[in-house]
Amino acid sequence: HYGTVATVDGDKVCGGPSADELRKKVEAQLAAYVDAIEHPTQATRDAKGETDEDRSDDGERTPNAPDADNGSPASAMFEALTAELQARDEERGRVLRVEAQRRASDETKQREAEQLLRKRLKWLEHAKTRRKRRAERERLAAELAKSGTATVVQSTREHASGAEAVGLEKGVTTEANVAMPEPNEAFRSALDWSARAAQALQEVRTRQLELKDGFATLA
């Protein structure tokens, strides 16, 4: 007991215990707690102020006599400190559980982000391949429209046997010798316009993909 607080000066309480006195008091309580754990009977007797003569009477106590030390200051201090340690252990366990849950959540988010990134890269690679194939087809179509030459259609039955060829009537030709007629000017113009329109559409799609990728990077 440190007496009654007299005055208050700002945030400092005058007449109260100093930090050193509080530290010594806590150390004394902890020392008494440890001693009570190691020698519970001795700590209880010391707290009650028993002498050696009083201790000699302990042998005459009956085994079934009620324990009068349950309400002693040492017992109360022991229970208070035990409760405090249990509360600290529970708090430490709660913090560890929260930390473990946070780490698990971070790992899950990282795995999901990596999966999304791999899918995105795979999709971009496939889109790039499709664009190349489409551009090649459009280039070939444009060259065909500008060439103006007849194209002979080759058949898988080009190497048919002579016996099959002999059976054809007069005026009938084999599939291997079928030729497409030469396109007229209107057809060439329409085909050229279609090729240019397809190329322009492809450029628009390419720009749209570039814009989406740019916005995704900024996000």
Instruction: Please give the pLDDT value at position 3.
Output: 44
Mean pLDDT of successive 10-residue stretches along the chain, which has 219 residues: 44 58 76 69 53 51 45 70 80 84 88 89 88 83 64 45 50 56 75 84 86 78
Place of tokens 């497409």: 180
Instruction: Please give the pLDDT value at position 204.
Output: 87
Instruction: Please give the pLDDT value at position 168.
Output: 53
Mind giving me the DSSP string for 80-103? Answer: HHHHHHHHHHHHHHHHHHHHHHHH
Q: What is the pTM of this model?
A: 0.28
- CA dihedral (100, 104, 109, 114) in degrees, to 10, reads 130
**CB burial of residue 195 (10 Å; 0-12, 13-18, 19+):** buried
Inter-residue contact 52 to 40 (CB < 8 Å): no
Q: Look at residues 21, 190, 219 and name the one whose alpha carbon lies nearest to residue 116.
A: 219
Inter-residue contact 148 to 183 (CB < 8 Å): yes
Instruction: Please give the pLDDT value at position 1.
Output: 42
Instruction: Please give the pLDDT value at position 45.
Output: 56
